[in-house]
Chain A
Amino acid sequence: MKKIINKTEDIVPEMISGLVKTNPDLVKEIEGTTAVVRNDEKFAEQKQVGVVSGGGSGHEPLHAGYVGDGMLSAAVAGEVFTSPTPDQIYEAIKAVDQGQGVLLIVKNYSGDVMNFDMAKEMAEADDIEIKTIVVDDDISVENSEFTQGKRGVAGTVLVEKIVGAAARSGMNLTDLAKLGQNVIDQTKTIGIALHAATVPAVGHPGFELAKDEIEYGIGIHNERGYAVEKIKPSNQLANELIEKIMNEFTDKSGSFAVLVNGMGGTLLMEQYIFANDVLNELNDKKIDVKFSKVGNQVTSLDMQGVSLTIMKADDSWIKMLKEPVTTIGW
């Protein structure tokens, strides 16, 4: 394993420190934590509901890259692939509460859910009004009582974009949580891996794939998916993933948004080829795509692969997706 790091235990604090030093007009560190909060001039003036998200590190630029005017108010970075601790989330909540309450955007992983839950209890003891929405867009996992439920993956960034835009426009906490839940319900993602990621503390890839194999349905923490198959040309992959996702929507009319997300180790060149195939195929299917985005948004360290997110979005959501923001990563 070759990595440009110092000590593995210093990876997250040093990353945050570098991020803050290179973007001082956008974010600042919350003292004593690995969380960042908005540092732009508008932040103090806008009395809006605070929007806090966070999770393990390694999904860059999620979440710190999406802190800024129009998206998140603060983001809490946990260790690599490990949810942040409740005390840190609690500090982030306090840093963004402007008396309008705080919305927590949590990805559906047991660690994230439990730590945010404990932080919520701590903040409520301070009389801060808190609501939580849990993103579970990954359709590769059965949502049954026999699993933790569907995971929160790349669709999270679209949820953060829409909720962030609505919060900026002055929406109250109750409506914001409702909107967020509606958005989550219409967001579906599935991912494939060509090569597993290497967690720095472990030093070798999380699982092995032969040179011509890909894994379907991977999560963003190196979890294996539901099937290993031979790799296919991009257009066939696009067809297969679209087929799976569109089956999840009963109503295929109206507007849709598309996110092609790189998992960290796949070139933009390949992502654009795949996006080209996705948009052609959706066009053939008469699916009206009004917003699309390509790039590394919710990576899984250096995993090679992509995920495809499709959202059935009403026109107000499309408008919110298109609104400009001031962040490092969007």
Chain B
Amino acid sequence: MELNLADTKKWMNLFVEEVEKNKSNLNELDTAIGDGDHGTNMDRGMQAITAALEKKEPSDLAELYKTVAFAMIQKIGGASGPLYGTAFLDMSKKAKETADLTELIQVGTDGLKRRGQSDVGMKTMIDVWQPVATALKDNKFNQQAVDEALESTKDMVATKGRASYLEEKSRGHLDPGSQSSAYLFGALIKVIGV
């Protein structure tokens, strides 16, 4: 599936809206197993995305993803900044070759794995990104796939990131990074209408 520039921009704008609307939910999730600021940090990144896109209209997909990446790297901080930033930066590089969404999401997921030196099952945002990438490949991408991926993080024990210090106690809580990623892909679904 290919996603053109206009729809990708719509996707990013919807993502921004979703995160801003759910900022306190992300903070609450992060209070349970982290330090309570994932919503605040993401919100700062979202404002930066909006400002950057208003300042300069991206001329192609690669530029759009790069703009989003830089806004997030420079404004989010914490672990989420370099993670989201790396994913979108790698997607930007790939977008020079292809507009295929399946390939782009997989490249973004691989970027997350590299930057965080982590993989699926560690209770991180990869646990949403990889299932979404796989669902896209299998033509099974829809809201249910996103919800199930997010829900799967609840019973995981964190082995990477701040929540890993809680070990067993991290079980029973949704991973905040997975939740913000679920907003990202929920926004995508609204754009492509599956």
Least Cβ–Cβ distance between B68 and chain A, in angstroms: 15
A147 touching B164 in the complex, CB below 8 Å, given contacts A110-B116, A206-B31: yes
A78 touching B161 in the complex, CB below 8 Å, given contacts A86-B82, A118-B82, A201-B37: no
Least Cβ–Cβ distance between A153 and chain B, in angstroms: 11
Task: Give the docked Cα–Cα distance between A148 and B167 (Å).
Answer: 10
Question: Interface 1/0s, chain A 112-155, versus B by CB < 8 A?
Answer: 00110110000000000000000000000110011110010000
Q: Which of chain A's residues have a CB closer than 8 A to the CB of B167?
A: 142, 146-147
- Chain A, Cβ-Cβ closest to B161: A110
Structural contact, B37 and A219, CB atoms closer than 8 A = no
A199 touching B79 in the complex, CB below 8 Å, given contacts A109-B162, A147-B164: no
Least Cβ–Cβ distance between A31 and chain B, in angstroms: 15
Question: Interface 1/0s, chain A 256-294, versus B by CB < 8 A?
Answer: 000000000000000000000000000000000000000
Q: Which of chain B's residues have a CB closer than 8 A to the CB of A85?
A: 73-77, 81
B41 proximal to A (CB < 8 A): yes
Q: Which of chain B's residues have a CB closer than 8 A to the CB of A147?
A: 159, 164-165, 167
Task: Give the docked Cα–Cα distance between A222 and B34 (Å).
Answer: 8
Q: Which of chain B's residues have a CB closer than 8 A to the CB of A201?
A: 27, 36-37, 40
Among B31, B80, B160, which residue has the most Cβ atoms of chain A within 10 A? B31
A80 proximal to B (CB < 8 A): yes
Per DSSP, chain A at the interface is: loop
A84 proximal to B (CB < 8 A): yes
Task: Give the docked Cα–Cα distance between A147 and B167 (Å).
Answer: 7
A1 proximal to B (CB < 8 A): no
A79 touching B81 in the complex, CB below 8 Å, given contacts A202-B36, A219-B165: no
A243 proximal to B (CB < 8 A): no
Q: Which of chain B's residues have a CB closer than 8 A to the CB of A8?
A: 40
* A-B interface contact total, Cβ < 8 Å: 107
From A81, A114, A148, give the contact of B164 (CB < 8 A). Answer: A148
Structural contact, A78 and B77, CB atoms closer than 8 A = yes
B171 proximal to A (CB < 8 A): no
- Chain B, Cβ-Cβ closest to A109: B162
Which range contains the number of B residues in contact with the other chain?
A: 20 to 34
- Chain B, Cβ-Cβ closest to A147: B164
Task: Give the docked Cα–Cα distance between A206 and B33 (Å).
Answer: 10
B35 proximal to A (CB < 8 A): yes
Structural contact, B77 and A79, CB atoms closer than 8 A = yes
Question: Interface 1/0s, chain B 47-85, versus A by CB < 8 A?
Answer: 000000000000000000000000001111111111101
Q: Which of chain B's residues have a CB closer than 8 A to the CB of A114?
A: 79, 82-83, 115-116
B169 proximal to A (CB < 8 A): yes
Structural contact, A148 and B81, CB atoms closer than 8 A = no
Q: Which of chain B's residues have a CB closer than 8 A to the CB of A94?
A: none
Structural contact, B162 and A221, CB atoms closer than 8 A = yes
Least Cβ–Cβ distance between A139 and chain B, in angstroms: 13
Structural contact, B77 and A202, CB atoms closer than 8 A = no
Task: Give the docked Cα–Cα distance between A220 and B70 (Å).
Answer: 29
Q: Which of chain B's residues have a CB closer than 8 A to the CB of A80?
A: 37
B154 proximal to A (CB < 8 A): no
Among B31, B35, B82, B116, which residue has the most Cβ atoms of chain A within 10 A? B35
Known: A86-B82, A111-B162; 12 extra A-B contacts, CB below 8 A, are A79-B40, A79-B77, A81-B37, A82-B37, A83-B77, A83-B79, A109-B79, A114-B83, A115-B82, A145-B159, A201-B27, A222-B36
Show 9 A/B contacts (Cβ-Cβ < 8 Å), sorted by A.
A78-B77, A81-B36, A82-B78, A111-B162, A146-B164, A147-B165, A199-B37, A206-B35, A221-B162
4 closest Cβ pairs, A-B complex:
A111-B79, A111-B78, A114-B82, A147-B164
